[in-house]
Amino acid sequence: MKLIKYPSKEQWSELLKRPALNTENLFDTVRTIINKVRTEGDKAVLEYEATFDKAVLSTLSVTSQEIKEAEGKISNELKAAISLAKQNIETFHASQRFVGKKIETMNGVTCWQKAVGIEKVGLYIPGGTAPLFSTVLMLAVPAKIAGCKEIVLCTPPDKNGNIHPAILFAAQLAGVSKIFKAGGVQAIAAMAYGTESIPKVYKIFGPGNQYVTAAKQLVSLRDVAIDMPAGPSEVEVLADASANPVFVAADLLSQAEHGVDSQAMLITTSEKLQAEVVLEVERQLARLPRKEIAEKSLENSKLILVRDLEEALELTNAYAPEHLIIETENYLEVAERITNAGSVFLGSLTPESAGDYASGTNHTLPTNGYAKAYSGVSLDSFIRKITFQEIVSDGIQAIGPAIEEMAANEHLDAHKNAVTVRLDSLK
């Protein structure tokens, strides 16, 4: 961890840099894999599974028997926790349903929107060092509410060709249509272009390593939509002297254990808190099973002491964190002044873990400063809004002359004529 005290504004740009994620230098390798999957289908995916995931598979599909058996392989306590999280995620995302209103913009001219679920969506769930069954809920639950007809899930198997049972249980509970044993670039390519087993989808969601990120970027150039640009996960804690250093340290470490390229930041107005957090991080770190990962991640971490809350807010909005935890005395007032963040956690009893798992909000969020322009995944991510308009005789007579005038001045005479012939028919 780097301790920084009272940095000047000239230093901010350097201070707020994320761990570099240069996907461009991976494009050649990734493009080769994508092209092979595109031309050879299942055969290429099976070969890459053997190469990268060390799993020798005879088929990519997860069977109904495997899904049924998964339920018996996890504890009742975990099943209850997943069910509770699913219920809260469902409740929050269902409240986001779009209600279109018919608007008469002028007499005889009516316009409206209708929300329609994206028919086919692909969910990528990483395997790696942790089975992210929580991400299954975060993506599949809103997809189901949105009315997506086909929800395809790809996730890498272990060396024995098995998917973690909690992932299968969560997928079945959330309403996933089809599950496949495929990871990495080959999974993204399969969902983007389709294979004999894996359907082509219209939009791909989900986090992944730098190869997955590069693959999503490449296939999104012209072939399929993706949820958002992605990078390593990050958290910022904004705290004053009232914050509990034990809680702050725990929040920083919960982010640090995600991966070696994660970033945890503290911006505080209290020098005493800054010093206490350093000691507390060291104490808690020693007890973590994923200590080595967190330790490496903390090399990217910065504990920044600023002069006052004004400066803390300005620095925070410049950073635009994926996760922002506000542990200040008047946290609701402070929160009102946040303009750039993916998801905000308010008060000393609201850890990032709540949003990661079970409070109901979505944990698929913009990273790497993209919170300045992007929202996290929501129900809107899984729908399209189609506009409609209806013009009756009063309407075309009222609006027609303006359309004719505008079309004529843009030298688009056929556009003008499409109105003129209608107006003439009403004379």
93 is in an annotated binding site: no
**With contact defined as beta carbons under 8 Å apart, do 181 and 163 qualify?**
yes
Contacts of 308 by beta carbon, 8 Å cutoff, 6+ apart: 269
Tell me: is residue 258 an annotated ligand-binding position.
yes
8 is in an annotated binding site: no
Candidates 209, 247, 406, 240; CA nearest to 331 is 240
- Please tell me whether 223 is known to bind a ligand: no
Whether 219 contacts 188, CB under 8 Å = yes
Q: Find out whether 11 is annotated in a ligand binding site.
A: no
53 assigned to a ligand binding site: no
Residue 164 assigned ligand-binding role: no
Q: How far is CA 121 from CA 70, 87, 186, 200, 294, in A?
A: 24, 21, 16, 9, 33
Sign for the pseudo-dihedral over CA of 100, 104, 108, 109: negative
Secondary structure class of 359 (helix, strand, coil): coil
DSSP collapsed to 3 states, 222-282: CCCEECCCCCCCEEEEEECCCCCHHHHHHHHHHHHCCCCCCEEEEEECCHHHHHHHHHHHH
Q: What are phi and psi of 157, to 5 degrees?
A: -85, 165
> Could you give the residue numbers annotated as active site?
322-323
Q: How far is CA 207 from CA 101, 226, 398, in A?
A: 35, 11, 51
Six token digits for residue 192: 């983007």
Binding-site annotation: residue ranges for substrate: 233, 255, 258, 323, 356, 410, 415
Binding-site annotation: residue ranges for Zn(2+): 255, 258, 356, 415
Binding-site annotation: residue ranges: 124, 186, 209, 233, 255, 258, 323, 356, 410, 415
Binding-site annotation: residue ranges for NAD(+): 124, 186, 209
